[in-house]
Structure 1
């Protein structure tokens, strides 16, 4: 079957690709399992050498990769560098500098004195073959995090990019192949949902999925049949909370960028802006003014700030949400419709362009207040008090990210602690996903598990406890139960855990006598 890679700005076909036959996916997973036997026994130093090489190749080809991202995904070329290349190189750096320390076995001493003769360790072992299934909105950054974490931990990977950004997926594959990763250690499958389904049901030991909540639930159901672990980074309805003590000019610029960067197609973008009633009108005025100035067009133009929606399916979702909101009384202050901007030569672009929209008079019956929009729509809602806005923000079924804007440090801390979300930023938004040391993930219907940071690496391992005992002559807790042993156990409990110091002293002599007296009746 053929898959067409299309430029969303011009609707021109960039390339036609052969999809991976569904019946071959299982065989690919079997070969990966075989490769795992050898790959998992390689040293962390050997894996890091290959990772360094992959990073060097990405850096050397960054201009080619950035252009390909803009061609196939549609985002402005500046964002291809700032929101894809930049943080991806940082992810490589983080793993290269920290993975060895993170994965180093740890010696653990028991809290219980009876176990002090044992030598205990925590080891971090690879899981096996990890399926990484990623979306089209950040086709380089989003898959790279779990891919790197999985590989450096000693796993093999099968990567399925979105059908809308398969060329970028193939470029990632080429980079790792050129870096020298052994055959069948890093694999790629290309195709539509049937290929993804085949991958989920193949011989994999872990699934890392980024995408819609609906698909994530299906994947979790399939994974539970084996069962195997899953990491799910799903939809979001991220609130931006703006209090009345902010710099309105600063906060309004944040709202415009946070809502409309990558044409709003960002997991952690600002999806709803809650503004205190005292500054509601001037804040909206600023947001509308700045939104109208945004330059829309082909992302290859370095001056363009808003590129196209990536695909027609997503465009229809955005249009449907706008129409639903208007039918229920919402007021569109600017934008909110499909447009056909002109390029530098004056030619009309026929791609999936949508004019960024600022909307007020919204209510919770509207789709854009309940469902993830994933597009350039910013509903702005008035609030009166801190308590009210926290309740509003937490009413969503999602909990991926949030931002709080205020100059009051104590208020900021109070609100942050009460927001139910995987991350909360104060006087900033979105950018934490570009920080390799910031763990990213959600709660509620936004999923579970984490990518980035050491937690992203631990997400790709089996945490194995190992205990060695070559000294203890016998074990007090083994069979041979009698009244004397019962008294010894009671004294041990009193000695270790009694809140009374006197009680501890009283239990010590009897415990010492019986603890080291060998019980001949032991089984």
Structure 2
């Protein structure tokens, strides 16, 4: 595979990008594979991963079994104790060095992300941005999040109460294939800086990316034993990770997420679950149509729609629907598909035959039941074996599968609404609640509508990046889209146990100084009235 093979627009498939000379073999060398895979805890067996661009094998990877998972947790627990003893600022310094290394060596990771996921390079760069932002944020803010906090004691002055934050221990982290750098390293960074170790099971399809991230973080100063990696089939290795973990972080399907939640609950350990979505975009009647159309292209077709926050339902006010759809379709038809390890293509490949089959089934069934293809609607084997055109469907309605099921591909359905109440009702009609988008020229109006949409993040005049990139604020799902949050205070405190240390001074919490029980009760009752009057919490 060359750096930029033939790429084409949705409309005509003509070549639009120059041809380069770099090949997959130049990037994924035997030396690189041998170096990275040494980190995998494996007692035997192997499996292969392939590039979606061509279907050719990239590497043979070691496989882990349940006994290897147990070994990985043993190693991680030994390393975690020493790591947790390091001062927070020393742990945070590792993240800041990692930030600089990621930016300095981004061509390496961009190549790996593209080869393993099939993404366009610009979409791969979103992962570089996301990881760097998270590393900077927690590198600079972790000490503040984790510092001991004083609270008002039960008896002010006499009782000193302090909240401490202790690491959970060893986090079991199960990462997906669609954002293999951001959802492996990016999610791991707050756990590490909080003093935890991690046993991670990345998806085998994109394991080289996660292994590269581990190597770079170790170069930044993370002790090797603190990040253990196991590989293998999800039904085999995943339950073993959950069975040993002190806390579980999982990103994946809602179906599997329910199983993870049940297994974690049975052991009384916590879990963060980012699951599926059927995200809605609302284009209000006063929206800037050009900006909204450009935003819809980003929201629907980034990473070929294989993004948990991607827009799959597009609601447009009926008075502007036809004109908006024309502008959106024109932009969609002009998108360039490509396999290149360089900037230039607008959209890349789907990751697997399973994803391609789902996309094809949703589109074909919708058309058979009366939907209209406004743009796209075809696989593109002329570009690569797993390519599918960015597709806009009009006239979608139940019981079409694309109406309610998560497609996780470059397909969006357009619907019309008459007023904002109807738009909000339609947006909230899904059991999912991960991300949403509202477009209007009136920011105050947009924020008011956003507050009525039941989703963990809602972007006004942007599709997903504004909320996701604001890492000081929490991000996560409602309803069938998951539990817990990443980013912000919740994104790091979830990896800790809160411990209250209370010191009592001068008098005990009971009768003293010659008071009998009744006198003590009167004194305490009077004191409680005074504390309320003083509004002491």
Q: Same fold (TM over 0.5)?
A: yes
Q: Which runs of 5+ in 2 are unaligned?
A: 1-44
Q: Distance in 1 between matches of 2:133 and 2:242?
A: 33
Cα distance per residue 1:291-318 (max 9 Å; x no partner): 1100112142522111010111111111
Residue of 134, 137, 159 corresponding to 1:94? 137
The aligned residue for residue 306 of structure 1 is 347
Cα distance per residue 1:226-263 (max 9 Å; x no partner): 11100001111111000111111111111112101111
Q: Distance in 2 between matches of 1:148 and 1:385?
A: 43
Q: How many residues align?
A: 490
How far off its partner does 1:496 sit?
4.6
Cα distance per residue 1:176-234 (max 9 Å; x no partner): 23334224211111122144324434421011111111111110111111111000011
Give 3-state SS (helix, strand or coil) of 1:382's partner: strand
Report whether the alignment pairs 1:375 with 2:409.
yes
The aligned residue for residue 225 of structure 1 is 266
Q: Distance in 2 between matches of 1:306 and 1:267?
A: 16
The aligned residue for residue 32 of structure 1 is 76
How far off its partner does 1:461 sit?
0.8
Structure 1 residues 473 and 296, CA, compared in 2 at 3 Å: closer, same or farther? closer
The aligned residue for residue 67 of structure 2 is 23
The aligned residue for residue 133 of structure 1 is 174
1:284-433 aligned at under 5 Å gives the runs 284-341=325-382, 349-431=383-465, 432-433=467-468
CA contact (8 A) 2:243 2:264 kept: no
The aligned residue for residue 19 of structure 2 is none
CA contact (8 A) 2:242 2:248 kept: no
TM-score (structure 1 length as normaliser)? 0.89
Structure 1 residues 258 and 109, CA, compared in 2 at 3 Å: closer, same or farther? same
Cα distance per residue 1:397-433 (max 9 Å; x no partner): 0110111111234432321221111011111111132
Give 3-state SS (helix, strand or coil) of 2:322's partner: helix
The aligned residue for residue 10 of structure 1 is 54
The aligned residue for residue 264 of structure 1 is 305
Report whether the alignment pairs 1:79 with 2:79.
no
Cα distance per residue 1:95-134 (max 9 Å; x no partner): 1111112111111124x5x343111111111000001111
The aligned residue for residue 459 of structure 1 is 494
1:472-491 aligned at under 5 Å gives the runs 472-473=507-508, 475-476=510-511, 483-488=518-523, 490-491=525-526
How far off its partner does 1:483 sit?
4.9
Residue of 159, 162, 184 corresponding to 2:200? 159
Q: Distance in 2 between matches of 1:52 and 1:497?
A: 45
CA contact (8 A) 1:134 1:142 kept: yes
Report whether the alignment pairs 1:445 with 2:475.
no
Give 3-state SS (helix, strand or coil) of 1:165's partner: helix
Moved more, 211-220 or 436-445: 436-445
Q: Distance in 2 between matches of 1:199 and 1:177?
A: 25
Moved more, 138-147 or 126-135: 138-147
How far off its partner does 1:76 sit?
0.9
TM-score (structure 2 length as normaliser)? 0.86
Cα distance per residue 1:503-522 (max 9 Å; x no partner): xxxxxxxxxxxxxxxxxxxx
Structure 1 residues 408 and 183, CA, compared in 2 at 3 Å: closer, same or farther? closer
The aligned residue for residue 62 of structure 1 is 106
Cα distance per residue 1:38-85 (max 9 Å; x no partner): 22212113212333333333233211111111111111112222x011
Q: Distance in 2 between matches of 1:278 and 1:146?
A: 42
CA contact (8 A) 2:201 2:238 kept: no
Q: Which runs of 5+ in 1 are unaligned?
A: 342-348, 502-523
The aligned residue for residue 275 of structure 2 is 234
How far off its partner does 1:438 sit?
3.3
CA contact (8 A) 2:278 2:313 kept: yes
Which is higher, the Rg of structure 1 or of structure 2?
A: 1
CA contact (8 A) 2:185 2:210 kept: no
How far off its partner does 1:141 sit?
1.0
Q: CA RMSD in A?
A: 2.3
Q: Distance in 2 between matches of 1:268 and 1:223?
A: 25
1:90-129 aligned at under 5 Å gives the runs 90-110=133-153, 114-129=155-170
Q: Distance in 2 between matches of 1:183 and 1:153?
A: 16
Moved more, 366-375 or 488-497: 488-497
Give 3-state SS (helix, strand or coil) of 1:124's partner: strand
How far off its partner does 1:350 sit?
3.5
How far off its partner does 1:11 sit?
0.9
Q: Distance in 2 between matches of 1:489 and 1:159?
A: 52
How far off its partner does 1:352 sit?
0.3
CA contact (8 A) 2:511 2:517 kept: no
Give 3-state SS (helix, strand or coil) of 1:154's partner: coil
CA contact (8 A) 1:22 1:194 kept: no
